Amino acid sequence: MLTCFQMLLYASMWGLAWAVIGDERRAVGHWLVYALGLALGLALMSQRPDMNVWLTEIGANVALLLAFICAQRGMLAFLRLPERTGEMLVLVAVTLAGMIWLGPVPQPRGWIHPGYLVAAAVGWVVLSTTWRAHRTLRDQFGRTVARVVATTNGVIGLINWVRVVIALVAPQNIVPLHVPSALNMGLVYMTMAAAASFNFMFLFLIVLRLLRRLTTLVQRDALTGLLNRRAMEQLLDRAWSRWRRLAEPFTVVSVDLDHFKHINDTWGHQAGDEVLKAAAGQLVAHVREVDAVGRVGGEEFMAVLEACASGVSTVAAERLRQAVAAEAVQVEAGVSIAVTASVGVATVSPGDANVGEMLKRADAALYRAKREGRNRVCTSEGEAAP
């Protein structure tokens, strides 16, 4: 009954989550049914041998099997993996047929008991799903999380298979689940611990995913996926601190697309958006991994080049200008347009009192590039040949 109460607590937790977390409703719905199904199955089992034997034997076992299937389908839904519906339907049909054929057996006679049929099926569902989900879990949440889930699920699956093995090799040790025995108590505690771990782990993963989404919303530009102005400012502050402490130079490259208003006016806003995305892709593809690229205004981008002194900064900026100019963007079927960009470069210098002064120098260089004919790189010290 204690385990049943624990499951009802999880059910209320998932019920609450279902009401407030829109994006993960499918997975959360599965876990709500899982906790309710487990609570129902355990409640029915605890009524043995007083209640109807079909309900407490077959009914309870069916509830448990469906509950575990829901738990695993929830995991697959959460990871956006196929939910194996056909496979599960076959499994339920075969197990149900087997249980009905065996009929309710209130006093287990060795392995001849519907409960062991269900235990074998549950073990398979849990372990095979864990196997399938492991790599995706590791890719999305890292090794540690994947290991914790594999261990938790592994324990749940193995508990079920161990029950079947004990029933097969030492049937004399088996006493009905509602009768307290060392084996049964061990099973109950292990099940409680594994269930707690499973439920809290996935609640934690939902929160983690929401946090990641929020971070992305706060730091990324929705159109291009690049860092936004706020994220670039934070990044510049960190680069500035490194410069002050370690004298590690860095360079700011301001990139502004030329005549972008004309592109919008001629081909429409959507075509303009495509041009912005293409330029963003080109910029990201042409900086080093340690560098960062952001969209800091309508058609204005910025690259922060780490550990980059003035000698190489012009070469890097020129590479970015050429990369934008090299990409013809398709704005209509059969119509591609060339886009150019003006670029201003400033490398941090001992004369800068703060990062703002450095940015002003980069902006001044950019305006000079515009004034002097566009599609060129200007540095804050002097113009570089395009």
Ligand X SMILES: Nc1nc2c(ncn2[C@@H]2O[C@H](COP(=O)(O)OP(=O)(O)OP(=O)(O)O)[C@@H](O)[C@H]2O)c(=O)[nH]1
Give the footprint of ligand X on this chain (CB under 6 A): 223, 256-262, 264, 269, 272-273, 276, 298-299, 370, 374
What φ, ψ does residue 190 adopt, rounded to 5°? -65, -40
d(CA 206, CA 195): 17
Q: Provide, rounded to whole angstroms, the least separation between the CB of residue 264 and ligand X.
A: 5
Q: Where are the alpha helices (DSSP H) in 220-309?
A: 229-246, 260-267, 269-285
CB of 342 or CB of 379, closer to ligand X: 342
Asked if the bond preceding 49 is cis, omega within 30° of 0, the reply is yes
Q: Provide, rounded to whole angstroms, the least separation between the CB of residue 340 and ligand X.
A: 9
d(CA 151, CA 145): 10
CB of 136 or CB of 322, closer to ligand X: 322
Q: Provide, rounded to whole angstroms, the least separation between the CB of residue 300 and ligand X.
A: 8
Q: Provide, rounded to whole angstroms, the least separation between the CB of residue 295 and ligand X.
A: 8
Q: DSSP readout, 321-351? A: HHHHHH-PEEEETTEEE---EEEEEEE--TT
Q: Provide, rounded to whole angstroms, the least separation between the CB of residue 252 and ligand X.
A: 18
CB of 94 or CB of 223, closer to ligand X: 223
CB of 304 or CB of 329, closer to ligand X: 329
Residue with tokens 């995305």: 277
Give Dmax over CA atoms of the chain in angstroms.
Answer: 94
Which of 126, 210, 113, 214 has the alpha carbon at shortest distance from 168? 113
Beta bridge partners of 256: 300, 342
Q: Provide, rounded to whole angstroms, the least separation between the CB of residue 377 and ligand X.
A: 15
d(CA 152, CA 155): 5
CA 257 from centre of chain: 34
What dihedral angle (degrees, nearest 10) is formed by the CA atoms of 155, 156, 161, 163? 100
CB of 157 or CB of 272, closer to ligand X: 272
CB of 42 or CB of 276, closer to ligand X: 276
Q: Provide, rounded to whole angstroms, the least separation between the CB of residue 28 and ligand X.
A: 35
CB of 122 or CB of 366, closer to ligand X: 366
